[in-house]
Amino acid sequence: MKIILASASERRHELMKRVVDEFEVVVSDFDENSVKFHGDFSKYVMELSRGKAENVAFKEGKDSIIVGCDTIVAHRGKVMGKPKDEKDAYNMLKALSGDVHQVFSGITIINTESHNILSDSVCTYVKFSEIDSEEILKYIATSEPMDKAGAYGIQGYGGIFVEEIKGCYYNVVGLPINRLKTMLKNFNYI
């Protein structure tokens, strides 16, 4: 059976290579706005990851293992997705400054042959140091924050803001590879 990663993210592509040797990439066109947040971050990211995986499973048909993933930043009870524009990125980073937030990723695996579906989520706690407006503006000028949940990439320049982390580092990057490996093993996919 072929394994398919349902993601356009280059970061996820790179991390997936650490878990499985051969896989294909099929970008999901699932409408993330169709899933409403009702207060449970874990459930929310699992619903998003399932939507992405089901979207690709529908396209790909039989004999595939589909892996869908979605990552959000949670801060003070609210979801921080990707910033809409530079002002939104600035406001997100200002809110995260000097505070703790959580990064949630949902993973869904679908076996299109057996119709088995497994979903799980991972949470990592991240503490930012105090960052001033000049640092935020300089970071936004790199364009790095614009395609990342919470407006930062821990694996890039945004890592300089991270004072402390509790949990899976790779979850913050966008794909908790240890959890994915365990899920794939439990279903005898690897």
**CA-CA distance, 154 to 169, in Å (whole number)?**
8
Q: Which of 70, 85, 88, 120 is catalytic?
A: 70
**CA-CA distance, 108 to 52, in Å (whole number)?**
9
Is 70 one of the annotated active-site residues of the chain?
Answer: yes
Q: What residues contact 7, with CB distance under 8 A and at least 6 apart?
A: 13, 25, 27, 28, 52, 68, 69
Residue reference for tokens 């910033």: 83
**CA-CA distance, 161 to 45, in Å (whole number)?**
24
Burial (CB count <10 Å: 0-12, 13-18, 19+), residue 70:
buried
Query: Residue 171 corresponds to which tokens in the numbers above?
Result: 């979850």
CA distances to 136, 175, 179 from 17, rounded to whole Å, are 32, 11, 14
Q: Phi and psi dihedrals of 158, rounded to 5?
A: -60, -20
What is the length of the chain? 190
| Residues assigned a catalytic role | 70
